[in-house]
Amino acid sequence: MTQAKRKIRFGTFGSGFPNGAGGWRAPDARADGAVHFESYKRVAQTAERGLFDFAFIADSAYITKDSIPYFLSRFEPTTILSALSVVTSNIGLVGTYTTSFSEPFTTARILASLDKLSGGRAGWNAVTSALEGLGRNHSHERLHPHATRYRIANEYIDIVKGLWDSWEDDAFVRNKETGQYADFDKMHTLDHKGEFFSVQGPLNVERSEQGRPIVFQAGGSEEGIDLAARTADGVYSRHSDPVRATKYANELRGKAVAYGRKPHDVLIFPTITPIIADSKEEADFKYQQLIEGVSIEEALKVLSRFFSFFNFAQFPLDEPLPELGDIGKDSFKSTAELYLKMAKEENLTLRQLALRVATPRGDYVGTATEVADKVQQLFETGVIDGYIIGGGLEDFVNQVIPILQNRGIYRYEYESTTLRGNLGLEYPVNRYTALRSQKTLLSA
């Protein structure tokens, strides 16, 4: 029996306009796309036409005058994803929710509701939050230290998963003749008392067709990789070059195995921003236009966000960055470290670094065939499972997807109606059902 050929998977940003510094000014974008439902609908339906696995909503609950337009006025994830669930049928719907400044019961209930509403298509981008002002928006003086945030996150995600098992799959009988609505022997309280949280349960939402929402994580620090290896179904990675991608995958999968999981229980999705044209020269020109459409002031704002809005404008633009000390250590730690390392290794000036961060180029610039070649090349090394398409969605769906289909590495139709099924992940048997089965086997 021959083994089915491994298929590549895709996700995209489900935003109303490109989320770069100047995304709202793009010729084909509505200036108010961040709060315009039809813009989100177009993105989600385009991605679904391209048979993408999911669209996810990036989010932040803290802004300043230096925030990029993408964050200044926009829908919170639950509202827009609930609306999109009605106008789509297969694509997964992933929302960003923090573990640092919210209650696990509330997050569990929100996501379980979206999961049931959408027929098993919900996902959770679990973030620890990395902007200092978030604390002040949630009755805290400051952000928790980096290590503390990840201790909280580990406990938080365990609680949420526990609450998602409050009801076994067949607990809701709903028998009108007998009058039995639920089998309460299959309802379970969590009774959690831990370092940061005390949660009784049970959750008042039943399980969906996929059992529970998919958990994504994006941490690239040591603590972040450890959290993903233990708790996540998928990770968003910043590494799309073969060397860094391989190193990251080896570390993540090694830790997953150490936690008793299989290496590919955690799917890896680097983000790329493909720029597609009829020739390589034309694609390079399109990228140059993209750079020229972003002012250095806007680029510095993008860069500063990863360092808790540190004022980079105080430094000379055309000189290398000075030593920054601990700046960024409690913010987007792994991303900040990556950018500083990039600047040092490539001897980039502040101007070059800011523009690189604001308008990432990567190697995915060229004709549709050239982009497909790059996508296939990294995928077939086995170090990644798919990509997040960060821009150029329409061109990618129309031009690259057919090439990947013809090469036999991409689907022609959805395999499932659930996000879990399309990602090829195993169904999570309810812990109490599993325990009952084990007891039955032992007593047999």
Q: Answer for the pair 321, 350: CB distance below 8 angstroms, yes or no.
A: yes
Phi, psi of 222, deg, nearest 5: -60, -45
CA distance linking residue 158 with residue 164, whole number of Å: 10
pLDDT < 70 stretches in the chain: 1-4, 18-22, 130-132, 292-293, 325-334, 359-362, 444
Residue-level pLDDT at 412: 97
Pick one of 2.30.40.10, 3.40.630.30, 3.20.20.30, 3.40.920.10 as the CATH number of 9-280+361-435: 3.20.20.30
Residue-level pLDDT at 326: 62
Structural domain boundaries in the chain: 9-280+361-435, 295-358
Residue-level pLDDT at 360: 66
Phi-psi region of 382 (alpha: psi -120 to 50; beta: other; left: phi over 0): left
Residue-level pLDDT at 132: 67
Instruction: Note the pLDDT tens digit of each residue in 332-356.
Output: 666 777 777 777 778 888 888 887 7
Which residues does 441 contact at the CB level (< 8 Å), separation at least 6? none
Verdict on whether the full-model pTM lies above 0.85? yes
Residue-level pLDDT at 59: 83
Residue-level pLDDT at 1: 38
